[in-house]
């Protein structure tokens, strides 16, 4: 039981490049989330998906798109990366309305 997995673990991009962060969970959870963590800050919600085929914006959605491919997978896409998107990105999952969110190990993204 791997829990929540994220790929890649590290990535360096140049300004304007695009990339997709992948997230998968094997706990049969309905809800999935993407957060970003900047230095000296707590995590902030980017997007949320309550179930397959549905997504909602969180606190900081600008510059990102998401896809809930199926129940297991929830990807985050940066279409044109900017230095302000340098951050650590966490994916999480939970039961629908569940109290505990299970987090992946994070992806450290640097945009030059």
Partner 1 sequence: AQTVTQSQPEMSVQEAETVTLSCTYDTSESDYYLFWYKQPPSRQMILVIRQEAYKQQNATENRFSVNFQKAAKSFSLKISDSQLGDAAMYFCAYRSFYSGGGADGLTFGKGTHLIIQP
Of 43, 78, 81, 109, which lies in the binding site for partner 1, with binding defined by CB under 8 A? 43
Burial bucket for residue 75 (CB in 10 Å: 0-12, 13-18, 19+): middle
CA distances from 86 to 6, 32, 33, 61 (A): 17, 22, 18, 14
DSSP state of 73: B
Nearer to partner 1, 17 or 95 (CB): 95
d(CA 80, CA 82): 7
Binding window for partner 1 (CB under 8 A); candidates: 10-18, 19-27, 48-56, 77-85? 48-56
CB of 54 to partner 1, least distance (A): 10
CB of 32 to partner 1, least distance (A): 10
Residues within the interface to partner 1 (CB under 8 A):
31, 33, 35, 40-45, 48, 50, 56-59, 88, 90, 92, 94, 96-97, 99-101, 103, 105-106
């Amino acid at each position: 039981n791997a829990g929540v997995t994220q790929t890649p673990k590290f990535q360096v991009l140049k300004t304007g490049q695009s990339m997709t962060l992948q997230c998968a969970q094997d706990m049969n959870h309905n809800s999935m989330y993407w957060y970003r963590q900047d230095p000296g800050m707590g995590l902030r919600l980017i997007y949320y998906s309550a179930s397959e085929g549905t997504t909602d914006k969180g606190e900081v959605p600008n510059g990102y798109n998401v896809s809930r491919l199926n129940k297991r997978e929830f990807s985050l896409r940066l279409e044109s990366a900017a230095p302000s998107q340098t951050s650590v990105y966490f994916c999480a999952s939970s039961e629908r309305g569940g109290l505990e969110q299970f987090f992946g190990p994070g992806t450290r993204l640097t945009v030059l």
